[in-house]
Amino acid sequence: MVLNGHKLPFRLTRADILGSGSVSIVFAIGERIALKAPIIYKANIRLTEEQIEQSAESVASITREKCIYDLLNDHPHPNILQTVFHCPDGIFMPRMLCSVFHWMGNDPNSIPASLRLRWVKELASAAEHLETHGLVHGDIRPANTLLDKNMHIKLADFDSCVGIGDACLAFTVPYHDAFEETAGYATEQFAIGSFMYTVFTGVEPEFEITGRKLRDEKLPDTSSILGGDIIASCWRKEYVSVAALAGEIGELELDDDGDTDGYEMWFVAGSNSPRSVARVNDQPDAEVLGGKRIFPCSGKGGRTDRRDTACLVPRKNEWTTDHHRSPVRTGVEFEH
């Protein structure tokens, strides 16, 4: 099928689309399987040089990701997504519950501190596993960390994954400092630090960058956050390896009552992806997380339906599934 100049694999339609990125589209294949396919323009129409380049980049990206998944399927990790099968048309993978980004955006109050801490530990363990195989994920953030039915992390979206020492392919602020160009433990720990901050507080950090220097004195205050010293060290790139970082994260514990042992976990109410980093005590609309119940991903806040109960959300800066609005993303637009 062809949709607005794009060739869709097999007999898929617009209704099957779960989400899209700059180089790929994710389709639902029934209730249990998803297909990540490259964006390819029709060959029987006159293509611009940009369209030809985009199609080639999309195919190359999916091809690279297939190779990464082949390696990871041979060396599995419980917190890294495993693929089912891949072919020239794309990569088949299990459909997950949703992403960490999606869950936190829908109902952050439903996420207890113990679950947030588990997510951080699982993410660090997955990144350490990649490091043992000479790999850097390159785009660690809540949108690329999926959740299975038991609410365990499954790190996914490896189209920016490269070998240690290779050039970075993704520069997603605040999970990348925007000027580190070589992938390695420095870039990976920076992303993990921002992931921790976002998961523990519900807001993304903001940084002040002058030229090619991240101003330490302008880093968000992490003194009242569980693992705040670890987060600050990640931003300053003080760990000599991801393994060293994962070891420290693994030692983080809540107290016997299940709280954060004197530290706060908080979020800024009224926004799905706020950019403020002000302390919670300075914000009248901020609420301390205290809820222990966990609600399903779908049906909260009028943002999801049955299709989203197993959604993949590839990239925050591209369009995601929202069936109460028309699907829109930056780049190529689909006809309504």
pLDDT digits over 292-332, tens only? 233 333 333 332 332 222 233 333 333 223 322 222 222 22
Q: Kind and range of the H or E element at 210?
A: strand 209-210
Instruction: List, for residues 114-147, the tens digit of each pLDDT value.
Output: 999 999 999 999 999 999 999 999 999 999 999 9
DSSP H helices in 10-147: 49-74, 100-106, 113-132
Q: Is the pLDDT of residue 66 over 60?
A: yes
* pLDDT (mean) for 252-264: 64
Model confidence pTM above 0.85: no
Task: Please give the pLDDT value at position 115.
Answer: 95
Burial of 28 (0-12, 13-18, 19+ CB in 10 A): buried
pLDDT for position 234:
96
Among candidates 178, 171, 235, which has minimal Cα distance to 205?
235
- In this predicted structure, the answer to whether residue 251 has a pLDDT above a threshold of 90 is yes
Query: Domain ranges in the chain?
Result: 2-97+304-310, 100-288
Please give the CATH topology (third level) of the domain spanning 2-97+304-310: Phosphorylase Kinase; domain 1 (3.30.200)
Per CATH, which fold does 100-288 belong to? Transferase(Phosphotransferase); domain 1 (1.10.510)
DSSP 8-state class, residue 38 = E
Please give the average per-residue pLDDT across 69-91, as a whole number: 94
